[in-house]
Amino acid sequence: MAATSCLESTQAQSDQAEDVIVHVSPNLQIRRWRKSDRDSAAPALNNPNVWRNMLDGIPQPYTLADADNWYEYVQSELVPSGPYDDNTRTSSGPSIPCHYAIVVDGKACGGVGLIFGRACYRRSATLGYWLAEEHWGKGYMTRLVKAFIEWTWETWEILGRINSFHFRRNVGSGRVMEKAGFEYEGLRKKSGLKLGVWEDEGMYGMVRPGLEG
C-alpha cells in the first residue's frame, strides 16, 4: 500500500513536471493550464486594472465559469508542433496548446500564449500575456516573455514571425516587448475602442533568428 502511494506520488510529480514548458526560476514557471487553476487565475483576472489593457473578448467581471470556458477553449486550440514541411503545409510533431499558465510561487496567476494566423499568415502568430497585479513591477514578465519566445521557436518550426501589440498608454507592456527583443514597427492611430476611448496601438514584431534578410 505504502509502495503504491509512493509510486502514485512519483507519477503525480512527474505528470506535473511534464506540464512545465519553461522554468524561469524556482518560483516562476510556464506550464499547461489545469482545470484547478480557476481558483487563483479567475480572481487575478477579475481586476479592472488588468482588464483595461486587454481585449474585450475577455469577460469582465471574470468568473469561475469563465475560467472553465477558457480551459475548454485552450484544450481545443491545438497547433501541430515539430518539423514543418512547406510543401505539404504540415508539421510532423504532436498538436499542442497555444496558451499556457504563468505560475508564481506555485499559483497560476497569469497567462501567455499565441494565436496563429491563417492562410498566407499561417507562419505568423500574435503574442498575448497578462499577470496578476500583485506581481507587477518585479521584472517577471520580461523574463517570462523572453523564455517563452525561445521555447516557441524550438517547438513550432512552422513559426517564422511573432507579432505583438499594445495600447500606447500601456507603457509597461511596450517595455516588456522592447526588452524581450521585439522591434517597434509603428503606431496604428485610433485602432481600437476600449471603455469608450479610441486607443492608439503600438505594433511590434520579431522574426525567427536566421530568417531575417
Task: Name the residues that contact ligand COA, by CB under 6 A.
Answer: 50, 53-54, 129-131, 136-142, 166, 170-173, 175-176, 179
Query: CB-wise, 32 or 169, nearer to ligand COA?
Result: 169
- Contact status, residue 191 vs residue 199, Cβ threshold 8 Å: yes
CB-nearer residue toward ligand COA: 60 or 142: 142
> Would you say 44 or 79 has its CB closer to ligand COA?
44
Q: Which residue, 21 or 176, has its beta carbon nearer to ligand COA? A: 176
CB 134 within 8 A of CB 174: no
Residue nearest to ligand COA (CB): 172
| 99, 111 contact by CB (below 8 A) | yes
CA angle 109–194–126, rounded 5-degree value: 55
Q: How far is the CB of 167 from ligand COA (least distance, A)?
A: 7
CB of 40 to ligand COA, least distance (A): 15
CB of 51 to ligand COA, least distance (A): 8
Contacts of 184 (CB under 8 A, 6+ apart): 174, 177, 178, 202, 203, 204
Round to whole Å and give the CA distance between 62 and 121: 31
